[in-house]
Amino acid sequence: MPRIIAARRTAVVPRGGKFALLEPHNLARPVIEACLADAALDASDVGELILSNALGGGGNPARIAALAVGLPERVAGLSIDRQCAGGLDAILLAHALIEAGMHEVVIAGGAESYSRRPLRSRTFADGRPPVPYDQARFTPWAERDPDMAKAADTLARTLDITQGTQDVWAQRSHARARAHADKRQAEIVPVEGVTEDTFTRDLTDRHCQRAKTVTGSITAANMAVAADAAAFVVVVSDRVATRLQKGGMTLAQGVTLGATPDQPGLAPVPAIREVLRRQGLQPNDLQRAEIMEAFAVQALACVTNAQLEPDIVNPAGGALAQGHPVGASGAILAVKLFHTLRMGDRPALAAIAAAGGLGTAALLEAVGPD
């Protein structure tokens, strides 16, 4: 079975911060270099680089990153865009490529610069001036393609999750992140002198009450801030893992499923249920769960509807305390698990929602060297 033998990330920095001048490949390069060093592999060993990027200007950012790192020119680089789910999907795809025998070493993850995202405009053939837009289309139906914050507020009203409940979850995320700050150092590769997630703070009731309202019950305090970051893992074949005498983490199951387009916050639930079903597991069999917190209500809805034990969810805080670097966020979940799972632990879950009603879930297990 393919094995993840190294996993690193940058700190997560809100847009306009210390990473504001860095393109995605500038964020990716030091992380990939650190992953290769941790794995005791040379650049020449790499067969493919899969990079998730949702906000860039197109092209093939994976190829740019591969060349920037100094991977062999034969490494073509594969860029994917599944929005928020892309970083975790890249890891699932790397696993599939190795399992199919196409490669023995694949680097997979995501790199996103919210700060450097290009301006976008729709053009028209009838001479009208271009119209700027921020959110891409995710369905063919405007009425089923909501703004993400509005969709989160609709979810909160549908499930009767109050702003106060959302704020409590956000406060918990920050408190847990602050309590585990020292333990995250093994995950983070210093870039531009930044060695810790810079957004984490002491979020209080007063802060939540004063936070700017985005829409309805969604405020600046209970939704994740737009951010810049990169995160990658090294996935290798059994043969390579045996040669290197490396343990690490295996992907026991992984799936991406589509769900109701206009309720993206609930999309991870069927994916979570499916990976558990395939392994014959129940939610209480899990050791830990990393659930994306693009919005507090999204995490709360997934915890409740997937029947997860809240205490095992995001024990070191989540995106509400860090930020949301869209294409990298799913890979960050896997990096966190890599550095916390231990031999003998029960399986762990990573799950994330994406615009358009997509949900990705992965079950991961710690393994020792052969």
Among candidate residues 84, 174, 208, 302, the one labeled active-site is 84
Are the beta carbons of 291 and 362 closer than 8 angstroms? Answer: no
Tell me whether residue 339 is one of the annotated catalytic residues. Answer: no
Alpha-carbon distance 206 to 56, whole Å? 36
Among candidate residues 25, 95, 174, 324, the one labeled active-site is 324
Tell me whether residue 174 is one of the annotated catalytic residues. Answer: no
Are the beta carbons of 36 and 234 closer than 8 angstroms? Answer: yes
Chain centre to alpha carbon of residue 128 = 38
Report the first-to-last Cα separation within the chain, whole angstroms: 12
163-179 and 296-305 are packed helices; what angle lies between their axes, rounded to 10 degrees?
90
Burial class (CB in 10 A: 0-12, 13-18, 19+), 127: exposed
Give the catalytic positions in this structure.
Answer: 84, 324
